[in-house]
């Protein structure tokens, strides 16, 4: 017989909570209950213990996954925002020089995503085959500007690219196979590509330069609003290199409006809202009216008010409006 038990804890210290597992097939198990939902930034550690009985079980029971558990358990983190909103958008993988020795295609890695997105503590990791070569961490208080129809860019370059967001890029990428990963603030992989090779967890992007003096890069093209809407194309002419701008052949579609809604309304010493479903931190404005039967309804902005956003949830509070009876409240969101 086989018995499977899961263990988890919130954070990286303290005791583990037992999570019973149910056999749903011959070799398939799933937890009988879910791990409770956690706020953004939380690290959850876990491991599995498998116990066997029968002939020979004394040789391999119990077994653990990961095999380093419980001393070194597995883990995952809860990111601030849903995946797919920021991605690797363009790569020039080599500094190419003309016959006078001046670089005309500086190497860079460009990210693109929804304007207002917080990139604090995100990182870019560069691999040769499966060996990590370097990692660049984006500094705190870094957000994407609205540079193209509600979308913005962040560029990792070097001193040859004076307009780069960060000029610490020193590792050339032409030596294949090379992988690039975009990691969120809790270490989750948001996007990953690999030139000239195949590795688990990386999307293969064929590159056509085989010499360090090549002049080609790759860029996403197509029409859409998130990473999955675009496809890689070769940048076969240096005029197509567009660091910090929309790519040739790329069109950003309409922004997806968040499905935000009020989950709590408390009226005691003041008025307090809890608004969920705002992962990209759209601007929140509380509104008030006294008559929903009017056509049109006369909504008025509440001023002043206080607001705090954390991981897709807004806390909004303000003093009771003076001279208003039977108030009706709503929330208006404005794209960043």
pLDDT tens digits for range 19-68? 999 988 778 899 989 998 888 889 999 999 999 888 888 888 899 999 99
The per-residue pLDDT for 104 is 54
- Give the domains, in start order, of the chain with CATH numbers: 2-77 (no CATH), 86-252 (2.60.40), 261-334 (2.60.40)
What is the pLDDT tens value at each position of the chain, 336 positions in all?
689 999 999 999 999 999 999 988 778 899 989 998 888 889 999 999 999 888 888 888 899 999 999 999 999 999 988 888 999 999 887 655 444 444 456 778 899 999 989 999 999 998 888 888 888 999 888 899 988 888 999 998 766 666 655 556 555 555 567 889 999 999 999 999 987 778 888 888 876 544 444 455 788 988 888 888 898 886 554 446 788 899 888 888 876 678 888 989 999 889 999 999 888 788 899 999 999 998 888 999 999 999 999 888 999 999 998 888 889 999 998 866
Among the listed residues 153, 148, 309, 335, the one whose alpha carbon sits nearest the alpha carbon of residue 255: 335
Give Cα 49 to chain centroid, integer Å.
31
Is the separation of the CB atoms in 219 and 243 below 8 Å? no
Among the listed residues 153, 39, 6, the one whose alpha carbon sits nearest the alpha carbon of residue 89: 153
Is the separation of the CB atoms in 213 and 204 below 8 Å? no
pLDDT tens digits for range 37-46? 888 889 999 9
Q: What residues form DSSP beta bridges with 46?
A: 8, 74
Q: What is the pTM of this model?
A: 0.64
Residue partners of 74: CB distance under 8 A and separation at least 6: 45, 46, 47, 65, 66
Helix or strand (DSSP H, E) at 192:
strand 189-195
Burial of 142-176, coded b for 16+ CB within 10 Å and e otherwise, reads ebbeeebebbbbbbbbbebbeebbbbebeeebbeb
pLDDT tens digits for range 69-82? 999 999 999 998 88
Token readout for 11 is 């954070």
């Amino acid at each position: 017989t086989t018995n499977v038990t899961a263990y988890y804890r919130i954070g990286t210290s303290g005791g583990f909570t037992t999570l019973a597992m149910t056999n749903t097939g011959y070799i398939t198990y799933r937890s009988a209950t879910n791990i409770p939902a956690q706020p953004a930034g939380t690290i959850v550690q876990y491991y599995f213990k498998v116990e066997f009985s029968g002939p020979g079980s004394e040789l391999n029971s119990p077994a653990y996954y990961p095999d380093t558990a419980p001393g070194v358990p597995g883990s995952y983190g809860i990111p601030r925002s849903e995946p797919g909103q920021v991605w690797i958008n363009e790569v020039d993988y080599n500094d190419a020089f003309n016959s006078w020795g001046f670089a005309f295609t500086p190497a860079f890695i460009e990210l693109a995503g929804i304007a207002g997105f917080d990139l604090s503590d995100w990182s870019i990791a560069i691999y040769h085959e499966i060996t990590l070569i370097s990692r660049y961490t984006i500094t705190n208080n870094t957000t994407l500007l609205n540079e193209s129809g509600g979308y913005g860019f962040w560029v990792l370059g070097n001193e040859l690219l004076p307009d780069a967001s960060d000029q610490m890029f020193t590792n050339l990428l032409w030596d294949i196979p090379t992988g690039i990963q975009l990691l969120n603030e809790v270490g989750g992989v948001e996007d990953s590509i690999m030139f000239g090779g195949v590795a688990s967890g990386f999307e293969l992007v064929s590159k056509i330069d085989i010499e360090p003096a090549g002049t080609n890069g790759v860029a996403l093209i197509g029409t859409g609003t998130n990473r999955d809407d675009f496809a890689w194309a070769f940048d076969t002419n240096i005029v197509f290199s567009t660091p910090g701008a929309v790519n040739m052949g790329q069109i950003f579609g309409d922004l997806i409006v968040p499905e935000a809604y009020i989950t709590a309304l408390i009226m005691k010493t003041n008025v307090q809202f809890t608004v969920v479903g705002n992962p990209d931190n759209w601007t929140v404005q509380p509104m008030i009216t006294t008559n929903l039967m009017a056509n049109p309804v006369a909504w008025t902005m509440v001023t002043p008010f206080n607001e705090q956003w954390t991981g897709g949830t807004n806390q909004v509070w303000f003093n009771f409006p003076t001279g208003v009876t039977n108030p009706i409240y709503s929330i208006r969101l404005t794209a960043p």
